[in-house]
Structure 1
Amino acid sequence: MIFFGQTSVLLRWALFGVSGAGLGLFAPQIFAAPLQGYVMVVQMTPAVCMFDAQKSKQRKCLEGYSLNISGLYPETSETECKTTSTATLSPLQAKVVARVMPDENARMQLWRGIGGCVQMNSSQYFRTMINYAERLKIPKELTSPETRAMHQTNLRLQFLRLNPSLPANAIRFSCSTSQGNAILTEVKLCYKNNGQYKRCSAEVQNTCPNIFTIKGSY
């Protein structure tokens, strides 16, 4: 069990559900295009489960996760990032990664889809994701059981207050609409190759209005 301080970090997300609830090494690959950085996508699990019937059958929904990571995506001009290598986790590492990415099939599909453009092996990739997740502190409104309206500016300011090294232009919010209401589905964080935050590129769009809904955790 990993314990944290009063302010929750990403690795503690699994604890907010109602349930209370060595990676393989591969030879280095040759990359045709350099990476411009990475984008970590944090999903608002209750909202995502509500919008997607297929995802509602996944572990993150069935076990009541408040938040999860869908991936750490490379920014590259390459159009084909697939890899034939696999990413089989040891039981110990699988338990750690599952706290932010609980569905094993989703982890495997992620790696097969982006592994060809990631300048690290699968072990380093998932370790990097965990490091970024552990460093990020999350506003309590995103893990609350209460559904509430939120001003985008206020949520951004809370992220900046909890994460002093995070610049305002390194975070983007994504929303989907239900019955005329904008609901927060994703928070996206932009990184340089060395792990420092950076200004998000124009391709990483902000799709939320000034006021949106944060769906409570089950």
Structure 2
Amino acid sequence: MGRFITCLLSLVLVLAMAGDVQARSRQNQPQGRAGVFDYYVLTLSWSPTFCLTNPQNEQCDGKGYGFVLHGLWPQYASGGWPQYCESDTRLSASDRAKGKSLFPTEGLLKHEWATHGTCSGLGAPGYLDAADQALGRVKVPAIFEPSREPHYLPAAEIAELFRRSNPGLPEDGIAVSCSGPELKEVRVCLTKDLQPTSCGKGVRSNCRSGQIRVPGIR
């Protein structure tokens, strides 16, 4: 019996120490603070690629989208980003109405506000206004108007087409993201006042060399 009690006490002690280590580990995690970041990444998703693997999503319900807003993401110049920052602001009915005019689905709107928008320090109305302004300042090249015909071109050419359509966008101010052999997203780096800027560490193109496929709409 005494041996059992000793083992039980040892187990309790081990569990308490483990809990203490986990608590201190959580305390040592860097926490994002609203408004504390260096620049934005405006992320435009090529909807036909998304819909190849998510055909049941409401975004893919015959709407014929080309590029859609994935998000406006606060970033650190040294790499990484804040997320899920504390915020007293919730999406109001007017915020949701505004957001649905920017994002392809309300589900994406809610996710992007909770994950990234809360870290802007602007509150929900200010963040949505910033996303609206950013969309208005980045011109999508005419070749990417929604079409049923796919295009094939190198990722470097996609970036160059965006630079030509957006004078002032630096060579390292854009990144092209792929899903396998297909275009997934174009990411444009912007200052806090939404001017073109160089991307920070970690925002780079990840597409293979040679031509990639830009799927057509279905």
TM-score by length of 1: 0.73
Indicate conservation of the 8 Å contact 1:44/1:142, yes or no. no
**Which has the larger helix fraction?**
2
Give 1:37's aligned amino acid: Y
The Cα of 1:118 is off from its aligned counterpart by 1.3
Q: What SS is found at the alignment partner of 2:41?
A: strand
Structure 1 residue 90: deviation in Å?
2.2
Structure 2: how far apart are the matches of 1:142 and 1:190?
A: 19
Q: Specify the code of the residue in structure 1 equivalent to 2:57.
A: Q
- Report deviation, 1:85: 3.4
Whole-angstrom CA distance in 2 between matches of 1:102 and 1:133: 13
Query: Does residue 159 of structure 2 align to residue 152 of structure 1?
Result: no
Counterpart selection for 2:91 from 87, 90, 102: 87
CA distance in structure 1 between the partners assigned to 2:36 and 2:99 by the alignment: 27
Deviation at 1:88, TM superposition (A): 2.5
Q: Distance in 2 between matches of 1:150 and 1:89?
A: 42
Question: Structure 1 residue 189: deviation in Å?
Answer: 0.7
User: Percent sequence identity over matched residues?
Assistant: 24
How far does the alpha carbon of each residue in 1:126-170 deviate from its partner, in whole angstroms, 9 at most, with x for none?
Answer: 011011101211122322321121122322222111111211211
Aligned to 1:168: 171
Compute the displacement of 1:197 (Å). 1.3
Letter in 2 for 1:90: S
Rounded to whole Å, the distance in 2 between the matches of 1:64 and 1:46 is 8
CA contact (8 A) 1:149 1:212 kept: yes
Report the Cα offset of residue 89 of structure 1: 4.2
Distance 1:209 1:145 in 2: 24
Q: Deviations over 1:168-203 (max 9, x none)?
A: 2111000012xxxx1001000111112111111121
> 1:117 aligned to 2:119?
yes
Q: What TM-score results when the alignment is normalised by the length of structure 2?
A: 0.73
Gaps of 5+ in 2: 1-31
Structure 1 CA distance for aligned equivalents of residues 92 and 59 of structure 2: 19
Deviations 1:88-134 (A, max 9, x none): 2428x82x643441211211121122243212111010011011101
Report the 3-state secondary structure (helix = DSSP H, G, I; strand = E; otherwise coil) of the residue aligned with 1:50: helix
**Cα shift at 1:84:** 5.9
What residue number does 1:13 align with? none
For 2:91 and 2:154, the matched residues in 1 are separated by 39
Asked whether the equivalents of residues 60 and 68 of structure 1 are also in contact (C-alpha less than 8 Å), the reply is: no
Check the 8 A contact 2:74/2:82 in 1, yes or no: no
Unpaired segments ≥5 residues, structure 1:
1-29
Alpha-carbon RMSD across the aligned residues, in angstroms, is: 2.4
1:168 alignment partner, SS class: coil
| 1:79 to 1:160, Cα distance in 2 relative to 1, 3 A | closer
